[in-house]
Chain A
Amino acid sequence: LAKTTQPISMDSYEGQEVNITCSHNNIATNDYITWYQQFPSQGPRFIIQGYKTKVTNEVASLFIPADRKSSTLSLPRVSLSDTAVYYCLVGDIGTGGSYIPTFGRGTSLIVHP
């Protein structure tokens, strides 16, 4: 059973706000929600992390409802350089009970001029 579900792809235009929603129905009580961005030929890069309610930094905002079964990454006024794959992470439990940061398939965002 997948830990997270995101849209496979999204399209937007420069200057628009983009909201990417991730479903994580089986999130555990102590799980944090983390978002990463990946450009072609690069490793993923941390964007934002939250546990509940709203978190904002200089790059994005993260909205988490009270039931924490989903989260929404909000990118204000996107530019062409925001074209990338965006991953939502919650953890998984591996062998021996260790906590594993698990990436889903991500959302490919394409920003058009």
Chain B
Amino acid sequence: DAGVIQSPRHEVTEMGQEVTLRCKPISGHDYLFWYRQTMMRGLELLIYFNNNVPIDDSGMPEDRFSAKMPNASFSTLKIQPSEPRDSAVYFCASSFRDTNTGELFFGEGSRLTVL
């Protein structure tokens, strides 16, 4: 298996632009998570899905952030408009068991820089 695949690996954009991050979970996994990592705040859970349905989005910072999972093999995290404080590494992870006992498999992350 190729593991969790994220794209792009690096993104540099200017403030106000729309950013779309993409994730392909491991086949057969029915949980998908989006995390954000910064030096200041560490790893924060933004949102997670179960069977393509958003279960908890309490970590989504504000309305500028949105996430979708149109099918079991694809998810997007969109930021519109982007701001410099959104600069971070965004990780996608998937799991095939429940969130308490399930092992999270992480992608390599998308490093976002907003100028």
Which residues on A are within 8 Å of B, measured CB to CB? Answer: 30-32, 34, 36, 41-46, 49, 87, 91, 94-96, 98-106
**Complex alpha-carbon distance, A105 and B44, angstroms:** 10
Would you give the 0/1 interface string for B74-115, flagging 1 where the beta carbon is closer than 8 Å to chain A? 000000000000000001010000111111111111000000
**Complex alpha-carbon distance, A44 and B55, angstroms:** 22
Verify if B61 is at the interface (C-beta below 8 Å from A). no
Which residues on B are within 8 Å of A, measured CB to CB? Answer: 4, 33, 35, 42-45, 48, 55-56, 58-59, 91, 93, 98-109
Interface contact A43-B106, CB-CB below 8 Å? yes
**Complex alpha-carbon distance, A34 and B101, angstroms:** 8
Q: A105 — which chain B residues lie within 8 A by C-beta? A: 42
Q: Taking A32-B101, A98-B55 as contacts, is the C-beta distance between A103 and B42 under 8 angstroms?
A: yes
Interface contact A102-B106, CB-CB below 8 Å? no
16 contacts between A and B (CB under 8 A): A32-B101, A41-B109, A42-B106, A43-B106, A44-B91, A45-B106, A46-B105, A91-B100, A96-B56, A98-B99, A99-B98, A99-B100, A101-B45, A101-B100, A103-B35, A103-B43
Q: Taking A91-B99, A94-B58, A102-B45 as contacts, is the C-beta distance between A42 and B104 under 8 angstroms?
A: no
**Complex alpha-carbon distance, A91 and B107, angstroms:** 21
**Complex alpha-carbon distance, A46 and B94, angstroms:** 12
Q: Nearest Cβ in chain A — how far from B25, in angstroms? A: 13
Interface contact A49-B42, CB-CB below 8 Å? no
Closest to B33 in A: A101
Our pick among A43, A87, A95, A106 for the contact of B93 (Cβ within 8 Å) is A43
Count chain B CB atoms within 10 A of each CB in A31, A45, A99, A105 and give the residue with the most: A99
